[in-house]
Structure 1
Amino acid sequence: MKKLMLPTMLALFLIFTTSCKDKATDKIQAENLEIAANNSLKIADLPVMTFSKVSHDFGTINEGEIVKHPFTFTNTGNAPLVIISAKGSCGCTVSDWPKEPIAPGAVGTLLVTFNSNGKPNLQTKQVTITANTEKGKETLKIKAMVTPKHKSGR
């Protein structure tokens, strides 16, 4: 019985290792290649939001001041750019953005407003932009050192 076991195992091993002679490339269907190529083209046809800078430091400001900064961007992609929303990380940051599509090669401006009332000391905030880009989200950052109001009293 032991004499038959070794040849049987060897025969099974040879059957399994030689039965898969087909090349993997022979199994690829032409229609799947076409679908993959079309998906690659779709990604290349998306808009790209390229900012001249993605952060701004307002420096030292007094508590209660409202400061604004325009962030300029260019659509460096191959399709119209549509900004869906631009939301600040808190209610003190407001954004104004173009509501119309931005054509490829065109320049747009996103205005970020920061209200420092009730926000003493170092403040860092983000604005998250939702758009039809490949990533879907872009982020801008602002910073300010807010000098606290002198409280009257005692």
Structure 2
Amino acid sequence: MKQLILLSTFIAFLTACGNADKKAADAATTTTEQTEAAEAAAPADVTTVQWLDSSQNFGKVTDGEKVMITFHFKNTGTKPLIISNVQASCGCTVPSKPEEPIAPGAEGKITAEFNSEGRVGKASKNITVTANTKEGIAVLMFEGEVLPKK
């Protein structure tokens, strides 16, 4: 009797393991299919952008001054341009992006405020832009010189 219970438990264990493996395999297949479908659909929403001034020099400023930099661009594609994120290379720069999609043929801008306080000397900063373009990201750059207070 003990052997029968032991054998039944062993068979149930094997069957359960087989089902778990099958469920995991089915889930993996479904996830892969969903990912492939999303990747196949994604190129339809991709557009192109032309940066009119991706690199700028703000010149010389005195320590403590705040500088506003504006980068202009044009959506040269056939789909709306969606800028999903802008991120500065350090905390001294605060970028902002358009909240609405930019229509094909339309122009837009990204602004960044650079706080020069405590940054005496040459300054060179990057802003990484994430958008629905073929490249996916663009890096904007600005530079200048921060002079000490007199």
> TM-score, with normalisation over the residues of structure 1?
0.67
In 1, the alpha carbon distance for the partners of 2:74 and 2:108 equals 6
In 1, the alpha carbon distance for the partners of 2:124 and 2:57 equals 9
Q: Which runs of 5+ in 1 are unaligned?
A: 1-38
Q: Partner amino acid for 1:97?
A: K
Contact 1:68–1:114 (CA under 8 A) maintained in structure 2:
yes
Corresponding position of 2:51: 51
Q: Partner amino acid for 1:128?
A: T
In 1, the alpha carbon distance for the partners of 2:88 and 2:134 equals 21
Large movers: runs of 4+ above 3 Å: 39-45
Contact 2:120–2:147 (CA under 8 A) maintained in structure 1:
yes
Contact 2:49–2:73 (CA under 8 A) maintained in structure 1:
yes
Q: Deviations over 1:43-88 (max 9, x none)?
A: 4762112111111101111010000121110000111111111111
In 2, the alpha carbon distance for the partners of 1:45 and 1:83 equals 13
Corresponding position of 2:93: 93
In 2, the alpha carbon distance for the partners of 1:46 and 1:89 equals 26
Corresponding position of 2:103: 103
In 1, the alpha carbon distance for the partners of 2:45 and 2:96 equals 26
Equivalent residues in 2 for 1:28-43, closer than 5 Å: 43=43
Corresponding position of 1:142: 142
In 1, the alpha carbon distance for the partners of 2:42 and 2:63 equals 48
**RMSD across aligned positions (CA):** 2.0
Contact 1:86–1:129 (CA under 8 A) maintained in structure 2:
yes
Q: Partner amino acid for 1:74?
A: K
Q: Deviations over 1:90-116 (max 9, x none)?
A: 001111110111111111011111110
> TM-score, with normalisation over the residues of structure 2?
0.69
Contact 2:81–2:132 (CA under 8 A) maintained in structure 1:
yes
Higher share in helix: 2
Q: CA deviation at 1:149?
A: 2.8
In 1, the alpha carbon distance for the partners of 2:80 and 2:59 equals 35
Greater C-alpha Rg: 1
Contact 2:80–2:103 (CA under 8 A) maintained in structure 1:
yes
